[in-house]
Amino acid sequence: MGRRLNIVVGVTGGIAAYKAVNVIRGLVLAGHDVHVVATDAALRFVGTPTLEAISRNTVHTSLYEGVAEVRHVAIGQAADLIVIAPATANTIAKLAAGLADDLLGNTVLASRAPVVIAPAMHTEMWQHPATVNNIAVLVSRGVTVVGPAVGQLTGTDSGPGRLEEPEEIIRAALAVLQPKDLDGRRILITAGGTREALDPVRYLGNRSSGKQGVALAVAAAARGADVTLIAANLEVAAPSSIRVVPVISTLELAAAVQDAARDVDAVIMAVAVADYRPEFVADEKLKKEAVGDRVMLALVKNPDILAGLAETRRPGQLIIGFAAETEPDRDAMLELGRAKIARKNSDLLVLNRVGWSEGFGTDQNTIVMIDSLGAIVMEASGSKQTVADRIFDAVVARLA
C-alpha cells in the first residue's frame, strides 16, 4: 500500500481497549496518519498519553473541544478509513441506530469513508439477538466486521467474542481500500518447503518458512482473488479466510498442484522444493547399530513441478516461478535466473537471494522479476507483504 492514508481509529470501552494500542502502532508503522477518537469509557481502560504517544497525534474525546474548527464533523470528513477497535456491544448498537451523542458517533456519521469494526464482548452479548440484528444492519450498510475470534475472554470463560488479533484487524482494514483488480480471478500459490521422509521421525528439507508465499496469498485475497494456498510445512499461519491445502512431500505437492492448477488464471510457485527424495523410506526409526559409522543415502530426483505446469498450461494461464540463489554477484545471479527460466519455460521468474541469514525465515525480502526473454520486469525491496503486492502489480498487468 503506497499512499499515506488518514485513518481514524475509534477506541471504545472494553477490556480489549489495551490491544487497540497495537492496532494504532501497526497502522502508524505502515506509514499512515492515525487519529484516535476515544470514548470516555475507553479512557477508563487505556490512557490518553499512551494513545497520543503511539498515534503521534492528539487524541480526541469530547464533542465540545475544537468547536471553532467544527471538529465533530472535520475528523470524519478528512478520514480515508475508520477503524473501530474494540467495538463494544453498546457502540455497535449506537452505530446501527445512527446515534451521535459522542464524538465517535458524529465522526462516523460525518464521514463517507469505509468503516471497519472489530467487535469484542462476552459470548452471550455477541450472540444476543439485539447484537446479531445490529451487526446485520451495519453489514447491510457496507461496514466490514473483523472477527470476533473464538478464544479466552476476560474472566474464566472462553468462546466467540475475543477481539481479533491486531495484525489481522490491520490487514482486513487496509484490504478494504485495495483496488479489487484481481476480482473474479483464481490464483494458486504454493508456499513453504517440502520435506522428504527418511524414516518415521526424520526428513530431508530446507529452511523456507513460507512467509513470502503466505504474504502473496494475503495480497491476492485483498485484491479480490479467489486464492488457493498449497502449504508445505509452514512456520507461519495463513489467515483463516484463505483456503489452505497442506502437503508435506514433493510428490504430495505435485499431486495437489496438478489438481488445483487446472482452472486457475495464475500459478505462483513460491515453495522451495526438495529436488531429491530418499530412494527407500525406512518403516521403523533407523538405528545407529544397524547403520554403522558412515551413511550413504541413495536419493532419486523429484519431478520438476514448475516445468510440468509450464508444459501443460492452458492458453492465457500465467505460470510464475521463484528462484532462490546464493550467488552473491547480482549479474551472475541474473544469469542463473535467465538460464532457469529458459529451462523451466515459465512466464515470469522471481529471483531472490537466500543464504544463512538472507531470504529464508526473515521478514524482509529483495527480489528481481524477469520475463521469459530474461528482461528485468521489476525490482522490489521491503517487507514480504510489500514485495508480494509489487509482484501482483506485475501479475495484474500481465493478466489484463
Spatial separation of the C-alpha atoms in residues 84 and 349, rounded to whole Å: 40
Cβ-proximal residues to 218 (8 Å cutoff; 6+ apart), any chain: 171, 238, 239, 242, 385, 388
* CA angle at 198 for the pair 234 and 250, rounded to the nearest 5°: 45
At residue 360, φ and ψ (nearest 5 deg) are -65, 125
How near is the Cβ of 29 to ligand CTP at its closest, in Å? 31
Q: Which of residues 226 and 275 has its CB atom nearest to ligand CTP in the complex?
A: 275
How far apart CA 301 and CA 150 sit, in angstroms, is 44
3-state DSSP call for residue 19? helix
Between 126 and 322, CB nearer to ligand CTP:
322
Stretch (H or E) spanning 299: strand 299-301
CB atoms under 10 Å from CB of 318, counted, come to 18
Q: Residue 166 in 3-state DSSP?
A: helix
Nearer to ligand CTP, 143 or 324 (CB): 324
Catalytic hit among 22, 57, 133, 206: 206
Residue 256 or 273 with smaller CB distance to ligand CTP? 273
Angle of helix 129-140 relative to helix 89-97, nearest 10 degrees?
50
Scan for cell 480526541, then name that residue: 60
Least gap, CB of 62 to ligand CTP (angstroms): 56
Q: Is residue 206 annotated as part of the catalytic site, yes or no?
A: yes
User: CA nearest 157: which of 133, 131, 123?
Assistant: 123
CB of 305 to ligand CTP, least distance (A): 3
SS3 of 53, please?
helix
Nearer to ligand CTP, 199 or 304 (CB): 304
Q: Is the peptide bond before 86 cis (omega within 30 degrees of 0)?
A: yes
Cα torsion through 66, 38, 40, 89, rounded to 10: 140
Q: How far is the CB of 344 from ligand CTP (least distance, A)?
A: 6
CB of 176 to ligand CTP, least distance (A): 31
Q: How far is the CB of 192 from ligand CTP (least distance, A)?
A: 10
The amino acid at residue 149 is A
Q: Which is nearer to ligand CTP, 33 or 371 (CB)?
A: 371
181 vs 275 by CB, closer to ligand CTP: 275
Residue 374: CB atoms within 10 A of its CB come to 14
Q: How far is the CB of 115 from ligand CTP (least distance, A)?
A: 40
Interface with ligand CTP (CB under 6 A): 269, 271, 273, 275, 302, 304-306, 321-324
φ, ψ (nearest 5 deg) of residue 232: -105, 100
The residues assigned a catalytic role are: 206
